[in-house]
Amino acid sequence: MSKKRDNALFCGKERHKDKIDYNNLNFNKDKDSFSFSNLNTTDIFTIPISNNDPLWRIRAYIMGIFYSDGTIKAQRSYVASVSQHIQDFDILENVQNAIGGRISGPYDANIFYLNVYGKELVLKLKEFGMKERHTYIDVANTILPPYFINKKINGQTLLRDFVRAYFDGDGTFSGRYKERTTRFGFPGPELFLNTIDNLMKKEITDISTFITRESIRYFITREKKYVLYSNFRIYRKGYGFYSLTPLDLKQGEIITTKHPWLKRLQISGSLNCIKFFNWLYENNDDFDSYNVNGLYLCGKRKFRKCLNILGNYLYRKERLAPNWNDVLPEVISQVPLDYYKLKRLMQITNNYLYDILNSLNLNQIFEKNKIEDEDIFRLRLKYLEYQDDLLGSFQKRIGSSNVNFYYSQINRPLKIPEEYKRKIELN
């Protein structure tokens, strides 16, 4: 890399001020690359720890990094390797602090590698679920999360630490909150993703997800077929990455097809994304500074990107706060046995909403979240009556007008007077 600024490597985005100081990293300026080692003789996987030791959280996190961006080799030379882009160098450094090893790079596309040699470590990673040749279809389709992620430390499972690391390694987050286009994505084999999805929904019961097939692009020329990577690059065995020229593109063909086994778990929509973020990062705006014995539980770049788009704690709390429409079904199911006019139900609904917002210290948004429009409220009541069968209704003749009355089907009157049985029309 040329023209280094203040002898430091900066993240590509201006608002991220994290930097790597090469003065401490055996940096070879002539070769534009560096390597450095952590000479610790122990690591968090081979040292004995108790069942309730918080270092289990670090183990779960590091396993997530290996599942997403790591490989192991358990024959002859026992080696565990992890790669990260230059923008996520802090993740690689954190892994090194946990298990030792040597970082080298940058190589193609500004990728750095951490290599750790050691039979005991590699066998421990295998015991916890890591597989060799995990990109082969017959292996990929058997991959499951580490068996210990259901273990609880301080009352919470290790699932979120593992998922957070997997997101740091291979996950994506995109979109704009105001346009309701935010989306989290996690690629992986179907069995693995379904297992994660089912475990996650036990902890976030009101979230919705879906799994789609991943596409893959190929560059085909002279009867040879190459996987096409970003920036129009292919990988040639024995030569490394090669950037296609305009002439190459003219002489070849790019095709897109469905990946033979890779799927993507997606969490879409602004409210879903906030719920997932709050779970993943423990609803903590400073989670990237949280550590266990100096070892961190998330990468900085993706955490800050999510925080920048989804907003701070108070903003997320307000966005998740209920409005009148959210509480109405609960109100209808709880009202005492009686017949209610529309305005009375509106009043009960708004009072119920106020009490909830008050309990959340969010009184300031009550005026915005309450219901005042009778026509909108009436339409919502019709939906609860005819779609959900949660509400009943009739009309009573009072003077020259028919007045609507409502009652809860959960706490239903035993008998409705015959003259009141005229149903409200859907119009």
Phi, psi of 237 (to 5 degrees): -55, 130
Question: Residue 222: what pLDDT?
Answer: 81
Average of pLDDT values for 217-224? 87
pLDDT band at 416 (very low <50, low <70, confident <90, very high): low
pLDDT band at 22 (very low <50, low <70, confident <90, very high): very low
Average of pLDDT values for 414-422? 60
The tens digit of pLDDT for each residue in 79-90 reads 999 999 999 999
Cα 327 to Cα 422: distance, rounded to the nearest angstrom: 28
pLDDT at 1 over 70: no
Q: For residues 151 and 158, is the Cβ–Cβ distance under 8 A?
A: yes
Strand partners, 225: 220
Cα 244 to Cα 226: distance, rounded to the nearest angstrom: 11
This prediction's pTM: 0.76
pLDDT at 96 over 50: yes
Average of pLDDT values for 291-297? 96
pLDDT at 423 over 80: no
Q: What is the 3-state secondary structure (H, E, C) of 269-311?
A: CHHHHHHHHHHHCCCCCCHHHCEECCEECCCHHHHHHHHHHHC
Cα 213 to Cα 71: distance, rounded to the nearest angstrom: 23
pLDDT band at 39 (very low <50, low <70, confident <90, very high): very low
pLDDT at 378 over 50: yes
Average of pLDDT values for 372-383? 92
First-to-last alpha carbon distance for the chain, in angstroms, is: 69
pLDDT band at 418 (very low <50, low <70, confident <90, very high): low
CA dihedral over 65, 71, 76, 77, signed as positive or negative = negative
Cα 87 to Cα 358: distance, rounded to the nearest angstrom: 43
In terms of pLDDT, which residue wins out, 58 or 331?
A: 58
Question: Residue 19: what pLDDT?
Answer: 40
Average of pLDDT values for 377-393? 85
Average of pLDDT values for 57-78? 94
Tokens coding 337: 């046995």
Instruction: For residue 186, give the nearest of 291, 97, 69, 96 by alpha carbon.
Output: 69
- With respect to CATH, is domain 324-420 assigned 3.10.450? no
pLDDT at 5 over 60: no
Average of pLDDT values for 110-134? 93
pLDDT at 40 over 60: no
Q: Worst-scoring range by mean pLDDT, 89-103, 141-155, 179-193, 282-296?
A: 179-193
Question: Residue 140: what pLDDT?
Answer: 93
Question: Residue 18: what pLDDT?
Answer: 38
CATH class, 8-315 region = alpha beta
Question: Residue 348: what pLDDT?
Answer: 96
Domain definitions of the chain by residue range: 8-315, 324-420
pLDDT at 130 over 60: yes
Average of pLDDT values for 42-60? 92
Question: Residue 181: what pLDDT?
Answer: 80
Residue 144: DSSP 8-state: -
Average of pLDDT values for 416-421? 58
Question: Residue 350: what pLDDT?
Answer: 96
- Amino acid in position 404: N
pLDDT band at 146 (very low <50, low <70, confident <90, very high): very high
Question: Residue 37: what pLDDT?
Answer: 52
pLDDT at 4 over 60: no
Tokens coding 226: 């190459």
Give strand ranges (E) for 14-134. 19-21, 27-28, 33-38, 70-73, 79-85, 101-105, 111-117
Question: Residue 262: what pLDDT?
Answer: 93
Tokens coding 154: 């301080």
Q: For residues 112 and 106, is the Cβ–Cβ distance under 8 A?
A: yes
Query: What does pLDDT average to over the chain?
Result: 85
- Could you check whether the bond before residue 106 is cis, i.e. omega within 30 degrees of 0? yes
pLDDT at 10 over 50: no
Helix or strand run (H / E) with residue 319? helix 313-320
Average of pLDDT values for 70-95? 93
CB < 8 Å & 24+ apart, contacts of 310-315: 310/177, 310/182, 310/270, 310/273, 310/274, 310/277, 311/177, 312/285, 313/283, 313/284, 313/285
Q: For residues 292 and 57, is the Cβ–Cβ distance under 8 A?
A: yes
CA dihedral over 120, 122, 123, 125, signed as positive or negative = positive
Q: Worst-scoring range by mean pLDDT, 27-41, 109-123, 378-392?
A: 27-41
The tens digit of pLDDT for each residue in 250-273 reads 999 999 988 989 999 999 888 899
Cα 125 to Cα 403: distance, rounded to the nearest angstrom: 71
Average of pLDDT values for 50-55? 94
Cα Rg, the chain, nearest whole Å: 28
- Amino acid in position 256: T
- Note whether 8-315 and 324-420 share their fold: no
Q: For residues 40 and 51, is the Cβ–Cβ distance under 8 A?
A: no
Strand partners, 219: 226, 254
Question: Residue 16: what pLDDT?
Answer: 35
Question: Residue 8: what pLDDT?
Answer: 27
